[in-house]
Structure 1
């Protein structure tokens, strides 16, 4: 429904441009916003050439010679100004998506064209957010919650890890020297596992010292007497709008995006699974009656179920966390559910999906319009990742390989869409099969749960 809605526009030259969502009579939040469209997995599989037009915009009109990307594009599509900050998750996610588009299309000439600009984008990210080459994003970095994180965190550093991994793979395929990226990738994995994992889930190290950026605390005297005590407490905690020791539903989002883009999982799988189980344990609520959030409660309210964006299991919620932390967004629910399934937690994933779909039952809400900041919100297209979560189905046009990693048994059939054809694929009594219904899907190798098998 989202792809057919006013959320998605197409120029006469064929290029795609998107809102984040739509209000009743106008678009909401313009410019194919990179940190929102990161989540959307429908378009790259159903209409790969249209998705590639978004990469064309990001790495051409939206990127300058220094590698800075503007995360919102103009309409009509044209060169953008670069006075605004870049977004860490949006820019780094774009690098992983270039890798995805290459593997879906099989077009290495297309990759060669993009590669210099991909390098420029990643080099800018390193200079700006990891200037000391620690392997983590330390400097303040903007993200999809419309705030700046101060200090390393699982959320955006997992994007950094994924982007470095994608760059290494692309560079190696093009015989380019990516040794710097390889070194940083190793550091990033170590940093995440040793410094950002508390034994149960990944968190944020809030930092204000030792950075190039200077933290400016709130000016206490500029507030009225009734607010000065709160301002002092905020200053004592550090910058406002952080999540600190919170359990963030998006806390390993970069690893999910890497996975759906076709990158192998380099991080300790048990730690990722532990984080996802913690998200389900602490953030999924079967009944939200006792949850108060006055900003946008219509997303999920009352006796409905929903996955909160963040919680603080140890009772150390900041006095002023990021402003959306208590909300429920369907796009996050679907990506967490898909990621849980990939790690064998199918029932937990389905529980989140059922809670979401029960809210959009056609009585309380439109079942064809999952909204966030506007109707037909683009982030909700993370739901396409549920196919991969349940079945592991993925086609790689570069290696002409079909991958299956079923979480639903040895007998299933599921929809498969590729750049050159679509059909149905799955397992019959544990043996892989494919039925091409349109076009052509050239398969030379089939892997079932990592083991090469012959087609049925």
Structure 2
């Protein structure tokens, strides 16, 4: 009997964290049908979750700096989780849920890596006391309210990573309150995005006719050595108030009896609660619970207690608000816990966190944030506004970008040496796994310097072997994974393209060449199709010629050839081109079954081992998908590629995965009955033993919906013009992570905040038809819809901004407006929607720029007479 049949429907809904089946249907409308499809294209409004709709309880938006641990912003504005103490546990909430049926070969117990937080979402994890409250004196009455779910008639959460806005509403108060919560997040500025701090910025407006007095107070428990030093004689907790010209702060520290022992723990360090500005009073010992009577400040500057006692510090800031006026109160919470933790066992980890290069303790973080608050907050909000100021749908912009928040969780680390290091998901599967992280398109576009360093330091350094193979988990697993190998070569091309000059390619070309040659060498019979059994992302060694691996390797070798050509290594470029031509021809001829691409078994071993064989596998044209991300053009026949994608849509996408899941067992619960998704593998030909003659636990993967793979397919669908399908698939994931059901910011695969989910950014890239090559000064835009009224953000090697195009009176206007940094350009490729180009003009401000316009089919290539260097707030305009 299928395990699903053994679960009562009401128990199934209960364990999934839902209330009733009817509510689920009502909360997340179906996406099928003409009306629903049209709605997907509409701009709409920011996704807003409401207390009144019971949509706040699972929200956990990461609001700490990247690579600084995990601090969650809850739906009501409270901070929770606080995974900043270097425990590196598996999952945001290590737990076991009895799912009631067998998962893979592990029995019925579901752990964090198997989807425990998908079926039973985490909430309300509060290892320390922290919060904010407001006291209001209005018309002779004093009102005290916590910024807490229970204290407001309505709370609205606007889900706009990296800065969320929360509205607090009390119908009886003539006061609007808006909280903007974030950590500094500035694309291309990885250092100022790597600050261990979270900022809570309150904005209050008196909408009444009489003045009111308010005081906002924040509090924070001293959690330094909270978990390691628990006995009275272990030492003293100390809170100390200090005032500077830019902030008022309470520093939390620990004075240990055994200093060496205390300093060697993951929770050793310091914390700081700060008010940005001077109009505040610090409270070294704040008492909870409080009321209007004890909403007070201390007259001392320091307090201490024994290690086994709780010590809470606070800061209060008051103001008088006249009718119609608005005030702001900015608070920051910083932390500094230098020890990475023993579970990450590489030499670089012993040096501590990357932020140690800039900050000696939490007060130093507070000093820096306060001194640079205008820049840090201003650039973060500028990026947020730039990202969401688009003609693309709000929900689409949210889903394709929000997964980069995994960098601000304990999935992702950066050590003092500068080395980046990551689990696959929080605390699970170590070592920057190449066959997972090669799907993640976001980092290379938002923080390209991090990815360049990771390629050079790890993939082409620590992990590169004499034969060109790249260890797929660094020091943790000294084998190459063939898909990870190919993805890293493709990543090298992306990192080169996202550079301002040729330094990265010139420095690393000998190593890139070896890594590319390694791929060529895995084609034992010389037909251009990799056939060497090797590890892949589905955790098994497959025999034969496997379409998704063959295609990925063809794309990687084509990337190698492009880089060889740029390095004037013509003989190697010819070798790569020969491999690509042969492989593409044979893949199309041999591995296409008339509908989709397949896995041809090994001639000797046959189907004795696991594989995808004649089945419809989600990654079957992954190589072509990757090719669109880096401007490589086609590696597979267009008609056959479209046919393969249509097959995936026909056989693998399901508006309700329930019936399919009832027929199979062993899958992990990343999509549940009643939810839409694209499953990994299907058997359209109804073959017996479609995945091989020997049952293995890895077969459970084939029945799952894993968002990273789904996003990869969505990006490819978008690239090929199948925009309806791309949007429906992306929306299916978006709906599975609706806040009524689970945390919208935590796409789960093998544990929480899974790295592969950052493939979602690739769908944004292909929606814009974006290509870029920094060293060549080349950029391209070819939007997939709304061509006559399109607007979207873009990032380049050294700058970011807004691109827009429109048509007025038969004239196409294309504008690149730089908001940050600088941008060198010489060639711009655009699409034409008029039949024939008559003339063109390029302007920077009032200055006309000499340029040549060349029509190439439906495209126009604009070549400037010499490179131009746009600076912040400059715009380049092209008229056709």
TM over 0.5: yes
Equivalent of 1:345 in 722, 730, 744: 722
CA offsets per residue over residues 93-115 of structure 1, 9 Å max, x none?
Answer: 11111111111104323212211
For 1:254, which of 623, 631, 638 is the aligned residue?
623
Matched residue, 1:452: 861
Partner of residue 407, structure 2: 3
Q: CA deviation at 1:81?
A: 7.0
Q: Residue 432 of structure 1 corresponds to which residue in structure 2? A: 814
Q: 1:397 aligns with which of 771, 774, 794?
A: 774
Q: Which of 540, 545, 550 pairs up with 1:152?
A: 545
Counterpart for residue 107 of structure 1: 501
Mapped partners of 2:775, 2:438: distance in 1: 22
- Alignment partner of 1:362 out of 730, 739, 745: 739
Helix, strand or coil at the partner of 2:568 = coil
Among 612, 621, 638, the residue aligned to 1:269:
638
Inter-partner Cα distance in structure 2 for 1:20 and 1:48: 19
258-267 or 137-146, larger mean C-alpha shift: 258-267
Structure number with greater Rg is 2
Offset, 1:69: 1.3
Change (3 A) 1:297 1:33: closer
Give the 3 Å change call, closer, same or farther, for CA 93–161 of structure 1 in structure 2.
same
1:55 aligns with 2:448: no
CA distances 1:104-143 after superposition (whole Å, capped 9, x unpaired)? 104323212211112212222333x212221001121221
Q: Greater CA deviation, 147-156 or 117-126? A: 117-126
Q: Tell me what 1:283 maps to.
A: 652
Match of 1:308 among 653, 666, 679: 679
Is 1:36 matched up with 2:440?
A: no
Question: 384-393 vs 323-332, which deviates more?
Answer: 384-393
Q: Which is bigger in relative contact order (C-alpha 8 A, separation at least 6)? A: 1
- Answer whether contact 2:470 2:485 (CA < 8 A) is retained: yes
Return the match for 2:420 from 4, 9, 16.
Answer: 16
**Is this contact kept in 2: 1:369–1:376, CA < 8 A?**
yes
Is the contact between residue 624 and residue 635 of structure 2 (CA under 8 Å) also seen in structure 1?
Answer: no
Q: C-alpha distance in 1, partners of 2:627/2:464?
A: 22
CA contact (8 A) 2:676 2:732 kept: yes
Instruction: Name the structure 2 match of 1:212.
Output: none
Runs of 4+ that moved beyond 6 A: none
In structure 2, what is the Cα distance between the partners aligned to 1:170 and 1:389?
A: 22
Alpha carbons 1:103, 1:262 under 8 Å: kept:
no
In structure 2, the partner of 1:77 is none
Local SS of the residue matching 1:180: helix
Normalised to the residue count of structure 2, the TM-score between the two structures is 0.46
SS at match of 1:455: strand
Question: How far 1:88 moved relative to its partner?
Answer: 0.6
* Alpha-carbon shift at residue 87 of structure 1 (Å): 0.7
Q: Secondary structure of 2:792's match?
A: strand
**What is the alpha-carbon distance in structure 2 between the residues aligned to residue 448 and residue 431 of structure 1?**
11
Report if aligned partners of 1:307, 1:328 keep a CA contact under 8 Å in 2: yes
Q: When you count helix as a share of all residues, which structure comes out higher?
A: 1
Q: CA contact under 8 A between 1:305 and 1:355: conserved in structure 2?
A: yes
- Contact 1:35 / 1:89 at 8 angstroms: preserved in 2? yes
Give the direction of change, closer, same or farther, for the CA distance of 1:356–1:88 in structure 2 (3 Å limit).
same
Bigger mean CA offset, 337-346 vs 385-394 = 385-394
Equivalent residue number for residue 183 of structure 1: 578
* Counterpart contact for 2:528–2:582, Cα < 8 Å: yes
Distance 1:348 1:35 in 2: 26
Cα separation, 1, equivalents of 2:715 and 2:452:
23
Indicate the structure with greater strand content: 2
Equivalent of 1:325 in 684, 690, 702? 702
Number of residue pairs the alignment of both structures matches: 418
Indicate conservation of the 8 Å contact 2:482/2:536, yes or no.
yes
Q: CA deviation at 1:289?
A: 2.0
Structure 1 position 280, deviation (Å):
1.0
1:208 positional shift: 4.1
